[in-house]
């Protein structure tokens, strides 16, 4: 079964995915974030101007191919993407098929072809200020970004795309999780729902 986690950047998708895996250790995780297009042909300055919150930034065709492979019980060799440089490393990591595949991405519920492949869809909501604060912490620590650059990207593309595309996609969810919430409690609820399906 494919379980989809949608919602804004830093809304809690990864946190919920980890809580689900803690309850179902055999589960596999497929992240739409690994499918950003390789921008090695562009200068770092050009890459900084790209709207990474628009579907055009992602290799959706490959992502759908891998969703189909996992749904059919086959492995997927997922590209390794470096968020700090906006490039693919050339390597891959293998996601093995599992009875439960957790699929996450900000645009997951936006794209109909993605939604149609999911057995159960969850949308995670978090206020704008919470998402920005979490993003500042994450991107400085994990992606080598500076505070000014993060805030600029948030105001010019992240939040506008959230309002235009991501937030409206919550109507497609089977379950909407609103801030604040307990990852363990929500994960337990979701696992029970999946078993009932």
Task: Output the domain CATH number for residue 150.
Answer: 3.40.50.300
Residue entry with tokens 């595309």: 165
Q: Is residue 197 part of a domain?
A: no
Q: In this predicted structure, what is the pLDDT of residue 152? A: 93
Q: In this predicted structure, what is the pLDDT of residue 84? A: 87
Q: In this predicted structure, what is the pLDDT of residue 61? A: 98
Instruction: Flag residues of the chain having pLDDT under 70.
Output: none
Can you give the pTM of this predicted structure?
0.94
Residues 118, 26, 142, 64: is their CA dihedral positive or negative? negative
Q: Is residue 62 part of a domain?
A: yes
Q: Is residue 87 part of a domain?
A: yes
Q: Where in the sequence is the domain holding 142, given as residue range(s)?
A: 2-190
Q: Is residue 126 part of a domain?
A: yes
Q: Is residue 168 part of a domain?
A: yes
Q: In this predicted structure, what is the pLDDT of residue 97? A: 98
Q: In this predicted structure, what is the pLDDT of residue 55? A: 97
Q: In this predicted structure, what is the pLDDT of residue 144? A: 82
In angstroms, the CA 145 to CA 58 distance is 21
In angstroms, the CA 187 to CA 35 distance is 25
Q: Using one digit for the tens of pLDDT, what is the confidence trace for 78-114? A: 999 999 899 999 999 999 999 999 999 999 999 999 9
Q: Is residue 47 part of a domain?
A: yes
Q: Is residue 195 part of a domain?
A: no
- Number of domains comprising the chain: 1
Torsion of the alpha carbons at 183, 28, 13 and 91, rounded to the nearest 10 = 140
């Amino acid at each position: 079964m494919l379980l989809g986690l949608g919602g804004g950047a830093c809304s809690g998708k990864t946190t919920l995915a980890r809580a689900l895996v803690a309850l179902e250790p055999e589960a596999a995780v497929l992240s739409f974030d690994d499918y950003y297009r390789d921008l090695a042909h562009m200068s770092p300055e050009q890459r900084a101007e790209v709207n990474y919150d628009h579907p055009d930034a992602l290799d959706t065709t490959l992502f759908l191919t891998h969703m189909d492979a996992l749904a059919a019980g086959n492995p997927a060799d997922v590209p390794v993407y470096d968020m700090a440089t906006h490039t693919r490393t050339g390597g891959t990591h293998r996601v093995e098929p599992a009875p439960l595949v957790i699929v996450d991405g900000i645009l997951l519920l936006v794209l109909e072809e993605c939604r149609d492949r999911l057995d159960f869809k969850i949308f995670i909501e978090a206020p704008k200020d919470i998402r920005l604060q979490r993003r500042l912490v994450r991107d400085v620590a994990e992606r080598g970004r500076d505070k000014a650059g993060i805030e600029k990207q948030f105001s010019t593309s992240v939040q506008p795309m959230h309002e235009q595309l991501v937030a409206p996609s919550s109507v497609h969810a089977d379950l909407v999780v609103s801030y604040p919430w307990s990852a363990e409690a929500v994960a337990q609820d979701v696992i029970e729902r999946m078993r009932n399906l």
